[in-house]
Amino acid sequence: GAVVSQHPSWVICKSGTSVKIECRSLDFQATTMFWYRQFPKQSLMLMATSNEGSKATYEQGVEKDKFLINHASLTLSTLTVTSAHPEDSSFYICSAPGRVTDTQYFGPGTRLTVL
Amino acid sequence: DAKTTQPPSMDCAEGRAANLPCNHSTISGNEYVYWYRQIHSQGPQYIIHGLKNNETNEMASLIITEDRKSSTLILPHATLRDTAVYYCIVRVGTNDYKLSFGAGTTVTVRA
């Protein structure tokens, strides 16, 4: 089946630094990818829709200047958390629509800890 | 998209069938019922989806009531690896692939 990978799987950074998270579709092309955030013991919250070759679409309340999304190719979307702060510590998950069936394939997630 | 209601948690014995209910009384005619699950510290995994007919695949069965106001996900022979949070999601089956996750049901399979 379709596979989505994320890198890194976990990252620890100092407050004020920027962190880039990659999301790749390994055996299929994805013109659209989605980024979610999940805090402990909570459900997934959609942050933004990443569109290949155009600007990302952000959900209400998500700061586009803080969470930079780049979808430079049909298999890669990146999420950069700029000037990270401890409150940005979370589990970040990406997904991409399946080719045939109307499903979403999720990456394994990236755990970000900001000290 | 229609709102769904699921029990917050349930236990299941290993080897027995697990029946997970979901209420979606405001579902509209063009909305599908999707089920995903999330094992701890992993990304969600697609399980099954349907419109109005019952569906079955290698993972589970989906039973949708005739009025489509509720559905049940059935894991026929639960194993310890089925312990996860199960999400029932209702949405229109178009090219807008956005998924809105509720709280889900935490299923614990016990030996």
The percent of residues in chain B predicted with pLDDT above 70, rounded, is 95
pLDDT tier for residue B100 given thresholds of 50, 70 and 90: confident
Return the residue of A nearest to B103 by Cα.
Answer: A43
Residue A102 has pLDDT above 80, yes or no: no
Per DSSP, what are the bridge partners of residue A12?
Answer: A113
Return the residue of B nearest to A41 by Cα.
Answer: B103
Structure confidence at residue B105 (pLDDT) = 97
CB-CB contact of B55 with B46 (8 Å): no
Chain segment A32-70, per-residue pLDDT in tens: 999 999 999 999 999 999 999 899 999 999 999 999 999
pLDDT tier for residue B94 given thresholds of 50, 70 and 90: low
| Chain A residues with CB-CB distance to B101 below 8 A | 36, 43-45
Per the listing, tokens 């399980």 go with: B47
CB-closest option in A32, A98, A106 to B44? A106
The percent of residues in chain A predicted with pLDDT above 70, rounded, is 97
Minimum distance, in Å, between the CA of residue A75 and any CA atom of chain B: 17
| Chain B residues with CB-CB distance to A107 below 8 A | 43
Using DSSP bridges, classify how beta strands B105-110 and B9-13 pair: parallel, antiparallel or unpaired. Answer: parallel
| Chain B residues with CB-CB distance to A91 below 8 A | 41
Mean pLDDT, chain B, as a whole number? 93
Structure confidence at residue A1 (pLDDT) = 63
| Chain A residues with CB-CB distance to B87 below 8 A | 43
pLDDT tier for residue B97 given thresholds of 50, 70 and 90: confident
Average pLDDT over residues A13-22: 97
Mean pLDDT, chain A, as a whole number? 93
d(CA A69, CA B72): 37
Structure confidence at residue B1 (pLDDT) = 66
The reply to whether B45 touches chain A by the CB within 8 Å rule is yes
Question: Among the listed ranges A11-20, A27-36, B4-13, which one has the minimum average pLDDT value?
Answer: A27-36
Chain segment B47-87, per-residue pLDDT in tens: 999 999 999 999 999 999 999 999 999 999 999 999 999 99
The reply to whether B103 touches chain A by the CB within 8 Å rule is yes
User: Which tokens sit at A36?
Assistant: 């979610």
pLDDT tier for residue B92 given thresholds of 50, 70 and 90: confident
Minimum distance, in Å, between the CA of residue A54 and any CA atom of chain B: 16
Minimum distance, in Å, between the CA of residue A108 and any CA atom of chain B: 4
Minimum distance, in Å, between the CA of residue B25 and any CA atom of chain A: 22
Structure confidence at residue A98 (pLDDT) = 77
User: Which tokens sit at A103?
Assistant: 């499903």
Cα dist from B91 to A15, A64, B44, whole Å: 38, 26, 17
Which residue has better confidence, A35 or B93? A35
| Chain A residues with CB-CB distance to B100 below 8 A | 46
> Mapped to the 3 state alphabet, what secondary structure does chain B carry?
CCCCECCCEEEEECCCCEEEEEECCCCCCCEEEEEEEECCCCCCEEEEEECCCCEECCCCEEEECCCCCEEEEEECCCCHHHCEEEEEEEEECCCCCCCCCCCCEEEEEEC
Which residue has better confidence, A80 or A72? A80
